[in-house]
Amino acid sequence: MNRGDEDMEHSERHTLDEQIVTDFRERMTYGEYLQLDRLLSSQTPLSEHHDEMLFIIIHQTSELWMKLFLHELTSAITRINEDDLATAFKMLSRVSKIQSQIIYAWDVLSTLTPTEYLAFRDKLGQASGFQSFQYREIEFRLGNKNAQLLRIYEKDPALLERLTQVLHAPSIYDAAIGALARAGFSIDRAVLERDVTQPYQANQSVAAAWMAVYQDVQRYWELYELAEKLMDVEDGLQQWRFRHMKTVERIIGFKRGTGGSSGVPYLKGVLEQRIFPELWDVRTQF
């Protein structure tokens, strides 16, 4: 390339650069659209320790991902109730990708050593991730209901009301079972009319319906896809729980949690919970 070609190429690049908007006196900026002044001023460490910023940002970003998780999950429940399963699949696929982001966040937090964490842990008081109202709403909407946990949120009446409404709302698994019934499967009335504030208990009629779906995939393709999307979500939830448990064990060992839980033993116990039991059992029985 000779000097003349270089000058021409430089001139073209310069011309393209001139198309970039630089005058924002009457225009909305990127920072204004995202309200970055509010977002980036929300990190207020309570100690002078360098690593508290890591701790805050990891948990704040996880809460943002959970907000999107709930946005997609609640819409997916509506779509399933409307028998618009194809749209629900797109939303549930996005939920699974969101879960991957939350899971990977533990890798960043696990760079925090016991010495570093203990330097500011006392500043947390009794604040704990166990109290995350968005995580609680996710569990409720997936079907893992526990009315006793609402006591944690009595300090905030509006928040308590929000979670109480979710407690009384059918979960995504209730919606899926409703889809089975509308497809012609014989589902026990006790299941279809059950008290949705209570944890779901496995039922033989639901198990038989899912077995039939897995035995004739072509006939029940959408229900089969729904089952697999739900399994993706529960699998992601269990991976999140496992990474949480191992990160806690790595950083504080078997100390009690700041919120009063037994810590690692409690988190190990949670790993035994199953929210879509028949979808797990069908793998053994199929």
Which DSSP category does 280 fall into?
H
56 is in an annotated binding site: yes
Question: The tokens of 62 are what?
Answer: 């996880």
Contact partners, residue 86, CB within 8 Å, separation at least 6? 222
55 is in an annotated binding site: yes
Q: Is 58 annotated as belonging to a binding site?
A: yes
275 is in an annotated binding site: no
Cα(216)–Cα(206) distance, rounded to whole angstroms? Answer: 16
In this structure, the number of other CB atoms found within 10 A of the CB of residue 236 comes to 19
Q: Are 70 and 78 in contact (CB under 8 A)?
A: no
Cβ atoms of residues 255 and 263 within 8 Å:
yes
Instruction: Measure the CA–CA gap between 146 and 199, rounded to whole angstroms.
Output: 7
242 is in an annotated binding site: no
Q: Which residues are annotated as a binding site?
A: 55-59, 117, 121, 244, 258
Residue ranges of the binding site for substrate? 55-59, 117, 121, 258
Q: Which residues are annotated as a binding site for heme?
A: 244
